Chains A and B, each alone.
Chain A
Amino acid sequence: MSVIIHPRPSPIAAAMYMLRDLDVDVIILHGPSGCCFGPARLLEKDGVKVFTTALSENELIFGGEKRLRNILKKINELFKPKLIGVVGTCASMIIGENIKRVVEELNLANKTICCNVHSGLGDNTIGAIEVLKEAMNLGIISKEEFERQKYMLEMATLLEKTRGTARLEYIPNSPGDNPKKVAYEIINDIRNNKEVACILNAKKETAFLFADIIIVLNEIKKKIGGKIKFIANLDPNIGLPRIRNYSKIILEELNRRGINIDFITGGLDEYPIAGEKAKEIVLNSSTELAIIAGIPHAVAIEGKVKTIAITSGSRATSNLKSLGYDYVVNEYGAHRVTLGKKYIHRSILGNAIRKIMRDIS
């Protein structure tokens, strides 16, 4: 296994996102105020109130449980949250703070998910699994759902290590291919009557951006014809209510536009294994061009058919290039763009295609 030399996603942030998926009203970070500022702001866009105990040198020396107690109490009185998440940080966990004890003292244990994580635990998914375990203990999710999600998260970690950005020690940044060039490539192939498979294999809310490719491909089809089948992990009956709802909203919007998904490969939290199903479907057909959006490296068909990968992040882009995907488009900041959105958002590649199609007519 390669040594980690790039900053990696943090278990603390993963715990926060999982809490959001569980629809907590507030998250309290027990740590210094600068800790996880980035994810905190993004989650606020998504309607979660994020607070910090703002531990400073004094609390690091003398302990910060009193601080946590005061803030929990205040927030509980002020916002009357139905569900609270409290997440540890490096600083508070290293000095041995006991989050649970504070929560129990305040009689908030029946509506608070406590998560004792810090950033040095290894894989970020550990933070998400911690939250799920606590949610199961509180009866918010069933044991079966816990096991299913835990398995998915472990598969996601495995995927990152075998085919994702955790497989290489040093990964340069890559801007990816020019979206306009890739847009022409797609339009030409469709015009030349190539068989196209459009695969959405997205993670949770990022589907609100990556699903845009489905809309634009359908526009092309409507205008110039073409053989395009749609494959997507948009099962509205899998996952937490919030995640199911994402699928529902996207399917409804596609439906309104007269688009039918030919194959549903799983839920929006099942991208690590849904990719395998998509791969099977593609390889058992006469597909000539596969366009894969979201987590393309979970759909291991590079080299087998012509591939266009659409992803987010310049390291992910460079990783896909080095795996051998023919074209890779970087949808900058997909996560940032989609947080708080509840509709399909226009993408960079989608807009490039739209522009060309406008000029064609």
Chain B
Amino acid sequence: MRSIAIYGKGGIGKSTLASNIAYALSKFGLKVLLIGCDPKSDSTINIIGKHIPSLLDIMKTNKNPSIDMFLFKGSNNISCIEIGGPEPGIGCAGRGIIVGVNYIFKNLNINDYDFIIFDVPADIVCGGLAIVVKEKYAEGVIIVTSDDFMSIYAANNICRGLNTIRVNAFGILYNKSTKNGIKYVEKFSRKVNLPIIGIIPYSEEIISANKMMKTVIEVYPNSNISNIIKSISLSILNIKEGRIPNWLSINELEEIFYENS
């Protein structure tokens, strides 16, 4: 069984990539489990085609729900779970993730799956959001970033968190790539000592597929973007080991964006 957790700045494309990678891996014949850890519960929507009831919502009234109550099968037989969480502004999403993930791993036979993907909301802002990797539920992290300062800034924060809790990252997914931006991401990748696993360009097909609540591979199987995602998924499958990333001071981070550094 292999497992990864996807972290990255809000809106950077974590859920889109998580569902597309899940789909690609399932197409390779793997048994895939996609676990959405975001209270928004929108990680698995591209696989199921609609929102599914979240585990924590179910647990409000049933302390011990059976697996079939919160695990749903979607396209290409991918298993999907949404952990869910509080409505915006109240409660504690981090605590929710801790309770939800612990419940899943106590009750699910993990070895039934070849590959597990966790889609985690935003950065590692608190202990709850780090639980997935801290407790080694996921072997390592994939960081999604784009080439703008703020997303690299967030990626660096994630590196810092991983460094603190001594957790491995597998590498960086560079999403919504631009012609001029690659050099920044490359510099960042060198400095934090993480490989760029894949580069995903900005794609109208992705947007269009997302609108249909489907993965781009399902809607445009032969498109260039689908091939890119399939090849990235293969790379992920072939990663042997991760490493604890370095992290940069704010000055070092700014230097990345100096033209002649």
Q: Which A positions have Cβ atoms within 8 angstroms of B?
A: 57-65, 94-97
Q: Give 24 A-B contacts (CB < 8 Å), ordered by A residue.
A: A57-B99, A58-B60, A59-B91, A60-B92, A61-B56, A61-B85, A61-B91, A61-B93, A61-B95, A61-B96, A61-B99, A62-B85, A62-B87, A62-B90, A62-B96, A63-B86, A63-B87, A63-B90, A63-B91, A65-B90, A95-B91, A95-B95, A96-B92, A97-B90
Contacts of B60 in A (CB 8 A): 58, 62
State whether the Cβ of B1 lies closer than 8 Å to any Cβ in chain A: no
Tally A-B pairs: CB < 8 A: 39
Contacts of B59 in A (CB 8 A): 58
Contacting pair A95 B99 (CB below 8 A): no
Name the interface size band of chain B.
10 to 19
Give the CA-CA distance A221 to B260 in the complex, in Å: 94
Chain B residue at minimum C-beta to C-beta distance from A60 = B95
Chain B residue at minimum C-beta to C-beta distance from A64 = B91
Q: Which B positions have Cβ atoms within 8 angstroms of A?
A: 56, 59-60, 85-87, 90-93, 95-96, 99
Give the CA-CA distance A338 to B95 in the complex, in Å: 41
Contacting pair B86 A62 (CB below 8 A): yes
Contacting pair B91 A62 (CB below 8 A): yes
CB distance from B35 to the nearest CB of A (A): 17
Contacts of A61 in B (CB 8 A): 56, 85-86, 91-93, 95-96, 99
Chain A residue at minimum C-beta to C-beta distance from B99 = A57
Give the CA-CA distance A59 to B56 in the complex, in Å: 11
Give the CA-CA distance A64 to B60 in the complex, in Å: 13
Give the CA-CA distance A94 to B91 in the complex, in Å: 9
Chain A residue at minimum C-beta to C-beta distance from B60 = A58
Give the CA-CA distance A94 to B95 in the complex, in Å: 11
Contacting pair B90 A96 (CB below 8 A): yes
Contacts of B99 in A (CB 8 A): 57, 61
Contacts of A95 in B (CB 8 A): 90-92, 95
- Among the interface residues A57, A61, A63, which one has the most CB atoms of the partner chain B within 10 A? A61
Contacts of A94 in B (CB 8 A): 92
Chain A residue at minimum C-beta to C-beta distance from B92 = A95
CB distance from B131 to the nearest CB of A (A): 13
Given contacts A62-B56, A95-B92, 5 further A-B contacts (CB under 8 A): A58-B59, A62-B90, A62-B91, A63-B86, A63-B90
Contacts of B56 in A (CB 8 A): 61-62
Give the CA-CA distance A97 to B95 in the complex, in Å: 14
Give the CA-CA distance A47 to B91 in the complex, in Å: 33
Give the CA-CA distance A58 to B87 in the complex, in Å: 13
Give the CA-CA distance A259 to B215 in the complex, in Å: 90
Contacts of B93 in A (CB 8 A): 61
- Among the interface residues A58, A62, A63, which one has the most CB atoms of the partner chain B within 10 A? A62
Give the CA-CA distance A63 to B92 in the complex, in Å: 7
Give the CA-CA distance A57 to B93 in the complex, in Å: 12
Give the CA-CA distance A65 to B56 in the complex, in Å: 18
Give the CA-CA distance A61 to B60 in the complex, in Å: 10
Give the CA-CA distance A346 to B99 in the complex, in Å: 51
CB distance from B88 to the nearest CB of A (A): 11
CB distance from A121 to the nearest CB of B (A): 19
Contacts of A58 in B (CB 8 A): 59-60
Contacts of B85 in A (CB 8 A): 61-62
Chain B residue at minimum C-beta to C-beta distance from A66 = B90
Chain B residue at minimum C-beta to C-beta distance from A58 = B60
Contacts of B86 in A (CB 8 A): 61-63
